[in-house]
Chain A
Amino acid sequence: SQTIHQWPATLVQPVGSPLSLECTVEGTSNPNLYWYRQAAGRGLQLLFYSVGIGQISSEVPQNLSASRPQDRQFILSSKKLLLSDSGFYLCAWSLSPTGPPGFGSGTRLTVV
């Protein structure tokens, strides 16, 4: 069966510091991968998605970037964090573009 791993679970970073969140999927090949952010208001916002190695689509202009160096690895990065980058970040995967995404356990990022 497929599993998704996301780490770290929590992170406190100072403003201006870099960020790297990692997500890996096991048990499948060539998954569609997604990064979502969930603000305190509960809504989930799609940040990036990828259909293959090296392919990244950005949904929202922002201070963040994503990379997919390997088939089942998805990384969310920032060179300099802003206070507004705080939130709950969720990695997700699906077998196809129309398949329901399965979510990781999330990373709670607090920028101070």
Chain B
Amino acid sequence: GQQLNQSPQSMFIQEGEDVSMNCTSSSIFNTWLWYKQEPGEGPVLLIALYKAGELTSNGRLTAQFGITRKDSFLNISASIPSDVGIYFCAGLGGSNYKLTFGKGTLLTVNP
């Protein structure tokens, strides 16, 4: 089946630093999604990308849908302590309903 390789697995940064994480796949996806999950909660959608090359921002977050449709990245600028959580990428390929999730990036922000 389709797999997503998400990196890094974890990040420890200082408040104010910028963050970058990415997902790659050997398969083509039609939709890329980025979620954030806080402890004990369900994932919350941050950004949805629907077109190759699309660059979308949501506040301090920016994500891009790779031109090859096999990758996506998420950047967080000027991190703050409330950015702490696990960030997941997810891709939707040729088979509907079946989102493929990355294993997540655990972000820790030191004040």
Residues of A within 8 A of B (CB): 6, 32, 34, 41-44, 46, 49, 51, 57, 59, 90, 92, 97-98, 100-106, 108
Contact = CB atoms under 8 A, between A and B. Distances in A.
Interface of B is mostly: strand
Contacts of A46: 97-99
B42 A90 contact: yes
B62 interface: no
B96 A98 contact: yes
Interface of B: 30-31, 33, 35, 40-45, 48, 86, 88, 90, 92, 96-99, 101-104, 106
Contacts, number: 51
A98 B31 CA distance: 8
B92 A98 contact: yes
A103 B43 contact: yes
